[in-house]
Structure 1
């Protein structure tokens, strides 16, 4: 039995525009993300910055989803909005003037509502909370800068990316492009536990810095599905076509909500630890209506309206991935200058004009009955008989549905997607 696995990463290639480059600081070393229970309890009472950035991160997630949807056609969608926003927020530390304004706007940050410092403090605390080693879910998120040894970073930028984003700074020789590519791919392979191999095919000849953000998540359901009752079943791709899938089944109490306005079911399946998966099943023919309504207010309303009810739940096993050209998607969202010759990233390095030449994102998800560790657990629930009336609804995810992974500690959407075909070959 496999366990639920989600991982993704984002690469940003920074290309030099000018020719003035010099040496990288020797002191750039890996910085571990500090965490202690004292940090957590001490900060709990404060007006935490990570709470302030959560609505903006949610806004960005749904805006990006809608941009992806326009191009995805009838394909599966899966990405990590948090990975993308973390990488670009980190890059914004070195952006100035209109380039910075566009990045803030694209990431849904309104500087009339919060200060720039609070954005970075928010991500700093999100990274601390998500990397807490005491969590029951296996979760790690981090950043790295691979920097050409001819490029001299400004000390303030280096201090800020290590302080707020705990980024590793790794000196690389981009003159030897195959070797640098191999080094970056090896790093990615290690951080994703061998799940993403050979992602970067080549580097632009003018590349002087590559920014990597990765996020790895592995969680076990609080109530695992029994693999003995998993059966082959039909998943309806559309009115005429279907595919065979392995359908898991559970007859249990879950937090659910029926949204009559949008004609969909919402089912929350909790992981051990403070995270949950939100599965949204639109009625036949209403997917677009539900997608159009995807806003933080909608999801917040769903979360507040959840009620524990016994249901008959059918959910397919699936393993899908998504790869995205974030540069192209951002340009369509109005973030253009950072990729152009007008880019102002003057806060990154000395005497060097920089722009972003490439931004790619890959994410994958694996959902199954969830792990041998859970197989030996027996849970007996006693509920009042009155819970049987009306009879439990039968919610069968046998047609396209939406999925979100929500971290309840940081109020953040870690992953988001649309499963159109659970049996599709991974790209």
Structure 2
């Protein structure tokens, strides 16, 4: 009987909470944002293994986004490209021949530019940097293998997933579908701080291994919104329909860029610590134009063009999630063999032929102005009057927009999304 390898990708997206800081200066110089092209880096002799994989990971992020966009029609989108890349890169340690080639190509790795060993060294370095306990943002990323006690894995595969991906390996009775699902769901709930619960309804009774990657991010705005000025407002779904949302507001100095060619605003909203976000607001009717040109070069140009300027900023509060059939999406990206009876995962186990039967990915995001601890705080800011010319632009995110969350330490895109309806009730 053909044995299936069940690959499961899990993560919690983001819980963003504001936190009042009286020492923030609007004119304070921020460190430069990351660029996504390899020649942008100057290592200065430092061992920056992650630099080698950053351009490929960015390419993959935008390719995957476009596949999701084509299937999502008019729904919210939110996912972690880094979680998906990491999980499949870890799986590639056990792939051979054409199965391995398809995985490399699907993940946007060109072995003439980066060696296979460098790919895994790069992910190892990313994991080290993301999980640094001294970071200001709360960021945890990890991997785990649930292995059926009947499956004998090759020692080299176990050694490699431990060495490069710090993966835990847990022996489990996966043939007991109900108990296995319960055990895995409990692990996921713990690692995502209760944000993803009961993801797996059951485990296929032929499953011999479940591979999980999770990522949890919680950041505090460097310039928090005052919840006392949040108001009900209209968010335009299209030219005929709108929904009521809680619209946050602040008038401060941000890094912004107006892309006249693509007809969109780009606003950087940084977090405390080494993480930031780009919010992209296309003009009415230009969302597809902006999406079609989403490439690492486009985002790199936006970042390099950012300029400090005082703006009136309106941003809705929202809480959305996305759940995706990665198997289906990867097949459309040319990665097919690993899911078929032709799969060569002989580097995982010599005794049992394996294929990936299922690959799912779930992400959630919460964007708000304040954490609960700061809910009762009143903030009054006084600034000198000035005759500003031209007047500050008023950038209102009251129609569909894009969101990209970037880790500045590893130059990684942690999350990407499109918010078309902040009030939508997701599954």
Same topology, TM > 0.5? yes
Shift of 1:277: 1.1
Q: Answer yes or no: is the 8 Å Cα contact 1:17–1:352 preserved in 2.
A: no
> Could you say which residue in structure 1 is the equivalent of 2:132?
132
User: What residue in structure 2 maps to residue 331 of structure 1?
Assistant: 331
- Separation in structure 1 between the aligned mates of residue 100 and residue 389 of structure 2, nearest angstrom: 57
1:224–1:374 contact (8 Å) kept in structure 2: no
| 1:373 Cα deviation after fit | 5.4
| Contact preservation (8 Å) 1:220, 1:374 | no
Number of residues of Structure 1 aligned to a counterpart in Structure 2:
388
- Rounded to whole Å, the distance in 2 between the matches of 1:381 and 1:66 is 44
C-alpha distance after superposition, 1:41-60 (max 9, x if no partner): xx973352201101100000
* TM-align CA RMSD: 1.8
Distance in 1 of aligned mates of 2:217 and 2:175 = 34
Query: Unaligned 5+ residue runs, structure 1?
Result: 1-14, 19-42
Contact 1:316/1:422, CA 8 A, preserved across alignment: yes
Q: TM-score, normalised by structure 1?
A: 0.88
Q: In structure 2, the residue corresponding to 1:163 is in which secondary structure?
A: helix
Q: State whether structure 2 residue 17 is matched by structure 1 residue 16.
A: no
- The 5 Å alignment of 1:401-420 reads 401-420=401-420
Alpha-carbon spacing, 1:201–1:389, altered in 2? closer, same or farther (3 Å): same
Shift in Å, 1:176? 1.2
The C-alpha deviation readout for 1:225-250, integer Å capped at 9, x for no partner, is 00000000000000000000000000
Give the whole-Å Cα distance in 1 for the aligned partners of 2:47 and 2:169. 31
Structure 2 CA distance for aligned equivalents of residues 52 and 378 of structure 1? 44
Q: TM-score, normalised by structure 2?
A: 0.88
2:45 aligned residue: 45
1:85-116 CA distances to partner (integer Å, 9 max, x unpaired)? 00000000000000000000000000000100
Look up the SS of the partner of 1:94 in the other structure: coil
Q: How far 1:279 sits from its partner (Å)?
A: 0.2
Residue pairs, 1:21-40, within 5 angstroms: none
Aligned to 2:238: 238
Distance change >3 Å, CA 377–CA 295, structure 1 → 2: farther
Separation of aligned partners in 1, 2:380 and 2:233 = 27
Q: Distance in 2 between matches of 1:131 and 1:309?
A: 33
Query: Which deviations, in whole Å up to 9, do the C-alpha atoms of 1:367-393 show, x marking residues without a partner?
Result: 00032556669696979957x221100
Mapping of residues 388-407 of structure 1, within 5 Å: 388-407=388-407
Structure 2 unmatched ranges of 5 or more? 6-42
Give CA deviations for 1:2-57 in whole Å, capped at 9, x if unaligned: xxxxxxxxxxxxx7269xxxxxxxxxxxxxxxxxxxxxxxx973352201101100
What are the within-5 Å matches in structure 2 for residues 64-103 of structure 1? 64-103=64-103
Which residue number corresponds to residue 213 of structure 2?
Answer: 213
